[in-house]
Every structure is written in structure tokens, then in C-alpha cells.
Amino acid sequence: MTDAPPPADLPRPPRKAMFIAALVVAIDLLGFGIVLPLLPRLAKEYLAGQTEAVRGATIGALFSVFSLMQFIFSPMWGRMSDRIGRRPVLLIGLIGSAVFYALFAFASSLPTTDWQLALALMFLSRIGAGIAGANIGAAAAVIADCTTREKRAKGMALIGAAFGIGFTFGPLIAYAGLKAFEDQKWGVGAIASILSLVAAGLAFAWLPETRIPGQQHEPRSFFSISRTLDVIKMPSIGPLVLIYFLAIFGFANFEATLALLTSAAFDYNDEQNFLVFAAVGFILMVAQGGLYRPLVGRWKEGPMIVFGIALMFLGLGLIGVVAWFTATQPDKKAVLTLFYLAMALAVTGFAFVNPSVSAMVSKRADPHRQGEVIGVNQSAASLGRILGPFVGVFVFELHSTRTLPYLVAMAALVCVLLLLPTVLRKESGTRNQEPEVLAPPPVA
């Protein structure tokens, strides 16, 4: 790892490529947003004869295995995109998503008498979809390829807005699909598969290759723990990766317990919770697509992280207040407005943190290793999405006030605040310096 003088400006691919990449990600994530809220309901039908503990563990594993695959495979897809290009990696992932969502549709069509086969195929589909979806770092690398350092954060916000679109309209389509395919449960998975195919078609037709030419010292192994550790050990990148993990871990505590809280506090049913998750996606879409992009042009990434963490801390604290009030007071509806305000604050704060950290990581990375470094960062995010829901759901019922998940999330954000001074000092000291360069792999 070395610091070098600033490089000459590299030629940039056409800017339209990053908008096409964001559009492709948005369409693909619609499928993810469709399947996610329906997964517990469909799995429960095949687990009807099992104990509550077995049902909970199986459904939790179905959720977690997706993020586990992303944790393992995100660096691999990133390295592959550095070697063979962003376009083929995105196409492979999109086609893979279509295949495994189709497998999920088939599993959902099996009778409950074949519950073991149905669950096995559901697990296989979630594993495959997790591996295929781990290429999101390649889409972020497209953004990095197409933007200057000054415009990097605005570009990364497009990926966040794509997530918001997926999480807004995916649950709404799932809700409509439940009504339209009430007797054909395979229909919802089929819609998700078709959407991924559409995204693959758009990418094939319109997405150009954006990988910066002239790469040297390409890694010989796609699976390389030592290369991943090299990225984490970088003084200017490792703390940012840790901040990303902690922020997503905290937010995942909130996300995983959201439906549990609304059901316990306000007696919301599944359909109402679909709308709650759609509201989360809508706020995320508006915050990153409408608020963040003009603000980051004036404040830069560092202050946006500070502001975002402050909003998250305030929002999660207020959600903890709502949880305590509804668990101890009879008039639960009195804090319904406060709940939605707190949710908006927490989601908006996360919308400011997410692209800011991603942009700073990308700006500090070797331009020829964008895929690898962003992939490692995405892997840390996946680890947060594995541990956050596990911890959040586990501690939710440990105390009668149901406040523990939000206290854990706030503690994670305090750790972020303790790391920020170091990160911001490095930002001010390296703003005009060359990104850190990974040492070349040893020659055999």
C-alpha cells in the first residue's frame, strides 16, 4: 500500500452509463422487494406442523442466508469486475437472480405435503439469489468509473435511490400480487424473476463497459482473504469500512424489528406492514434522490455523515420512546404520529450516511481496484445485515418495554461518532492526494 502523487485525469465513460446502471439496479431490486415481505408468510405454510422455535429459526435462516452469501461473494464479484469488466458481472448477476427467483416461484407452488422439498428449494433459491445479488458493488463501481471525485457522492446516491424504489414499490407489488395470485402463490416469484430478466435485457442493450483501461497487477484469485484484509488494513479505508458496518448494523436492528414493533404497539396486520415498509422505501428514495444530492454538493461527505448519524440517533431514540410508551401506557395511538416522525428521521439519516461512506471509500481507492474495494465495503454491509437482525430480534422480547434493539442501535452509532474524528482528519489531509494503492499480488 503506497501513497503516490495525484494521477492525471483518466478518461471517463459516458455519464449515461451510471443512470442506466441505477435503473437496472432499481428494476432488479423490485424483485427483491417483492419476495422479502412474502417470505415469512409462504414459509409458515410449509412449517405449520413444526414448533414455534423451529418455525422462527427456519424463517430467520432463510433471511440470513441471503446476506451471508453477499458477505462471502461481494469481494469476489468486485475483483471479477476489475478483471473482466462491470458489464459482464452485472449481466451474470441479473440472469442468476432471474433463475433463482423462478426457482422460488416453483418452490412456492408445491403442495404442503412436499414441505421438505419446498423448504430445501427455498433455501437454494435464497442462496443463489444472494450470490447473484452480491454484484451490487459492480454497479457502484460503474458509478465510480463515470464520476469525478467531486461528483462521486451524488453518483452513489443514485444507487441508494434505486434501493428506495425497490423497497417502495416491491412491497406494494407484493401486496397486489397476494390479491391477484391468491390461489397461485408461484405468481409473485414469477413477477420477481421477470423483472430481473427485464433488467438483464436493459443492461445488455444499453449498458456500456465502464472499467478504466490500463489495469495492472490483476489479482489471480477471486476468493482471496489476504486481499480482503489488505483493503481493511488501509489506514484511510479500514475505519470507513468499520463505520459502514456499524451504521448498517444499527439500522438493521430497526428494520428487523419494525414489523414486530408495529404489530405489538399498534396491532398492525401483514397488509398494513407492507405499507409501512413501502413508506420506508419511499423516504429512502426521496431522501437520497431529492435531498441528499443537492446538499452534498455544498457540505461534502464528512459533514453529511455527521448530520446523518445525528438524525439516525435521534430517530432511533424516539422509536425507543414509542416502544416504551406503547408497552407501558394504554393509549397506544397517542404516539402513532411520533412513531412515523421518528421513522422518517432514522431513514433520512441512514440515507445521508450510506452514499457518503460509499463515496469516501471509492475516492480513497485505487481507480483500478474500485470493484475490489467497493466489494469489500459491501461485504461489511452484508455482515451488518446478518448480525443486526439477529441481535435485534433476539433482544426485542428480552425486556417488557421492547426498547433494547434501539438502545443497541444507538450504541453502535456512538461507536461511529468515536471513529469519525479520525476519518475526518484523514479526509482533510488527503483531499488532494492519490488514492491508496493495493500492493500487487505476489508473482508465482
Does 262 fall in a domain? yes
Residue 27, SS3 per DSSP: helix
State how far the Cα of 64 lies from the Cα of 303, in Å rounded to an integer: 33
More confident residue, 192 or 40: 192
More confident residue, 231 or 202: 202
C-alpha angle 90/96/100, rounded to 5°? 145
Does 410 fall in a domain? yes
Among residues of the chain, what percentage have pLDDT more than 90? Answer: 41
Q: Count the neighbouring beta carbons within 10 Å of the beta carbon of residue 259.
A: 18
Amino acid identity of 402?
R
Instruction: Flag whether pLDDT at 218 surpasses 70.
Output: no
Instruction: Flag whether pLDDT at 441 surpasses 50.
Output: no
Amino acid identity of 242?
L
User: Looking at residue 428, what is its pLDDT?
Assistant: 56
Q: Count the neighbouring beta carbons within 10 Å of the beta carbon of residue 416.
A: 25
List, in sequence order, the alpha helices (H) in 8-51. Answer: 16-46
More confident residue, 331 or 420: 420
Does 442 fall in a domain? no
User: Looking at residue 365, what is its pLDDT?
Assistant: 85
More confident residue, 438 or 418: 418
Joined grid coordinates for residue 441: 499480488
Q: Provide DSSP, 72-89.
A: HHHHHHHHHHHHH-HHHH
Residue 6, Cβ density class (10 Å: 0-12 exposed, 13-18 middle, ≥19 buried): exposed
Residue 365, SS3 per DSSP: strand
Does 269 fall in a domain? yes
Does 234 fall in a domain? yes
User: Looking at residue 443, what is its pLDDT?
Assistant: 36
**Average pLDDT for 157-177:** 82
Where do we find the cell 441505477? 22
pLDDT tens digit string along 88-118? 999 999 999 999 999 999 999 999 899 999 9
User: Looking at residue 61, what is its pLDDT?
Assistant: 85
User: Looking at residue 439, what is its pLDDT?
Assistant: 47
**Average pLDDT for 210-234:** 70
Q: How many structural domains are present in the chain? A: 1
Average model confidence (pLDDT) across the chain? 85
Does 11 fall in a domain? no
Does 217 fall in a domain? no
Q: Count the neighbouring beta carbons within 10 Å of the beta carbon of residue 329.
A: 10
User: Looking at residue 215, what is its pLDDT?
Assistant: 52
pLDDT tens digit string along 12-28? 667 788 888 888 888 88
Domain, as residue range, for 153: 16-211+224-430
* Highest-pLDDT range among 43-52, 243-252, 430-439: 243-252
User: Looking at residue 101, what is its pLDDT?
Assistant: 93
Does 97 fall in a domain? yes
Joined grid coordinates for residue 79: 475483483
Instruction: Flag whether pLDDT at 9 surpasses 70.
Output: no
CATH number at residue 299: 1.20.1250.20
- pLDDT band (50, 70, 90) for residue 36: confident
More confident residue, 426 or 73: 73
Burial string for 296-328 (b: 16+ CB within 10 Å, else e) reads beebbbbebbbbbbebbbbbbbbbbbbbbbbbe
Instruction: Flag whether pLDDT at 193 surpasses 70.
Output: yes
